[in-house]
Amino acid sequence: MKNLILAIGILGLLLAGIAQAQAPEGEKKEEKKEAPAAAQSELKIEQAVIAKNVENREPVEPGETFSKDIGRVFCFARIIGAKTETEIKMIWIHGDKGSLAAITLPVKASNWRTWSSKKIDASSVGDWKVEIKDANDNLLTTVNFKVE
């Protein structure tokens, strides 16, 4: 009889513990989910530079620092790996001012050169970057430069 009472007592404690472990009705239990793996792009950036110009589909005088009197700078990119026609975006960002321009450019072959440009003047002094993203908004690379 003592064993039966002891077993009922233990069973009661176990059931009470299970009831406390369950979320109250109407509330969902918090489940741990793994973050999805970062999407990978089929595109790769073979070359990305800021330059004074582009001639014959090649960057002219690439650099990291440019004069505010230059007039215009170019972001040149060589993209490889496209299996079908797609596009990239070049997002020009000036310091803390955020995105000043987002230019969408076609990529029509597995080895493709393309570029965009930005007008530069006295108000352009400071740190800049150009983020290059694929059609799914995956960041492919960032090119940093400075205007003095």
* Tens of pLDDT, residues 115-135: 999 999 999 999 999 999 999
Q: What is the pLDDT of residue 3?
A: 55
Asked if 53 and 135 touch (Cβ cutoff 8 Å), the reply is no
Alpha-carbon span 66 to 83, nearest angstrom: 36
Please calculate the CA angle 116-119-123 and round it to the nearest 5 degrees. 140
Distances (CA, A) of 23 to 28, 130, 135: 7, 48, 42
pTM value is: 0.73
Q: What is the pLDDT of residue 122?
A: 94
- The pair of structure tokens assigned to 45 is 């950036």
Q: pLDDT at residue 50 above 50?
A: yes
- The pair of structure tokens assigned to 134 is 């694929």
For 81-107, give one letter per residue: b (16+ CB within 10 A) or e. Answer: bbeeebebbbbbbbeeeeeeeebebeb
Q: Where do the domains of the chain lie?
A: 44-147
Q: pLDDT at residue 5 above 80?
A: no
The CATH architecture that domain 44-147 belongs to is Sandwich (2.60)
